[in-house]
Chains A and B, each alone.
Chain A
Amino acid sequence: QSALTQPPSASGSPGQSVTISCTGTSSDVGGYDFVSWYQQHPGKAPKLMISEVSKRPSGVPDRFSGSKSGNTASLTVSGLQAEDEADYYCSSYADNNNVVFGGGTKLTVL
């Protein structure tokens, strides 16, 4: 299966909001409400930030939110903070019990 499409970069100033998109197909993002978002700081393992399109695991700040429309999912980070600077990856369940990741988006806090 092909990787999901994410913009390579995004940026915002502290306190602002930024939205990262993740586009797939009807075989993955559009067909299932199993989109997840992961945050990865340099040299660290990914951390789950959003599951099932919009659910926040315990401990994840409510500044992080997710949504989906058709074949495109989105991650919004509100009230940007310096520690939000990281790489963000979307992921989706895909047909035939597969998992697919996006190419990643580098979020820069200006």
Chain B
Amino acid sequence: QVQLVQSGADVKKPGASVKASCKTSGYTFTSYYMHWVRQAPGQGLEWMGIINPSDGSTRYVQKFQGRLTMTRDTSTSIVYMELSSLRSEDTAVYYCARSLTTTPLDYWGQGTLVTVSS
């Protein structure tokens, strides 16, 4: 069965970087796009960007340009999301979710809580 298993919660200081992982199984890794979506406490879903595991190409929302990097490792079927220059407003649960085309996002990881606090 399709599974997206994300790395555990993390606490970072302002200005630091965080790298979350999303380990996939149960399907052909390179045949589906992977998205990252975040949700601040008590807030809605925010789409951050997308990576094509087949060729590593990415597209990021403008507000994250320069701070966000998505990568993949085809040997282990893992996708990574790195966000740098963290500020308190980046405190959120970060989800990975796959799609066959750009949408819909049909399977989601369990989420990774990232807390930014001094």
Binding site for B on A (CB under 8 A): 3, 34, 36, 38, 40, 45-48, 51-52, 57, 89, 91-93, 97-104
Contacts and interface: CB of A to CB of B under 8 A. Distances in A.
Given A100-B47, A101-B47, A46 B108 contact: yes
A36 B44 contact: no
A38 to B, nearest CB: 8
Interface of B: 35, 37, 44-47, 50, 59, 61, 95, 97, 102-106, 108-111
Contacts, number: 62
Contact of A57 (B46, B61, B106): B106
Contacts of A104: 44-45
Given A45-B95, A104-B44, A99 B50 contact: yes
Given A46-B45, A99-B50, A103-B44, A91 B103 contact: yes
Given A46-B95, A91-B103, A98 B61 contact: yes
6 contacts: A89-B44, A91-B105, A99-B35, A101-B37, A101-B45, A104-B44
Contacts of A92: 103
